[in-house]
Amino acid sequence: MTELSQAAIERIIKKAGAERVSADATETLTALMEDYGTFLAREAKKMSDHAGRKTLRGVDIRMAAEMFK
Amino acid sequence: MTELSQAAIERIIKKAGAERVSADATETLTALMEDYGTFLAREAKKMSDHAGRKTLRGVDIRMAAEMFK
């Protein structure tokens, strides 16, 4: 189901200053990050369709992020 | 620098419906997702400190996400 590696997310939490991290914390942040990425990717897909392209580009992601900040 | 795998992010973009994905799109979404995760992890660290714990838990992540939605 999830695409992101739990190890990577745990490293992100530790870099943020946590001494110890529960497995539950890692799973929770993984789900939130993945939901955020999926949301932006779907909006970016609409942007690439709108531009008449089959290739989703960085400009589409940036435009999607811009719309929701 | 980045912790997330580019392959995982490309899969997230393809699941969102994109036929083709530029490398630039994958890099851009990776950076945005990582920034989001780092932001939430830092806020969650403040929450665990506030609760007097050394272990960052799922409740800290959820509280951080709740504060910024």
Chain segment B2-50, per-residue pLDDT in tens: 899 999 999 999 999 999 999 999 999 999 999 999 999 999 999 999 9
Chain segment A18-62, per-residue pLDDT in tens: 999 999 999 999 999 999 999 999 999 999 999 999 999 999 999
Three-state DSSP at B56 gives strand
Whether B41 sits inside 8 A of A18 (CB atoms) is yes
Whether A27 sits inside 8 A of B58 (CB atoms) is yes
Whether A25 sits inside 8 A of B54 (CB atoms) is no
Distance in Å, alpha carbon of A6 to nearest chain B alpha carbon? 10
In this predicted complex, what is the ipTM?
0.95
Tell me how crowded residue A64 is: count the other CB atoms within 10 A of its CB: 24
Cut 0.80: pTM above it: yes
As given in the structure block, the two tokens for residue B26 are 């994958």
Which residue on chain A is closest to B1 by alpha carbon?
A: A12
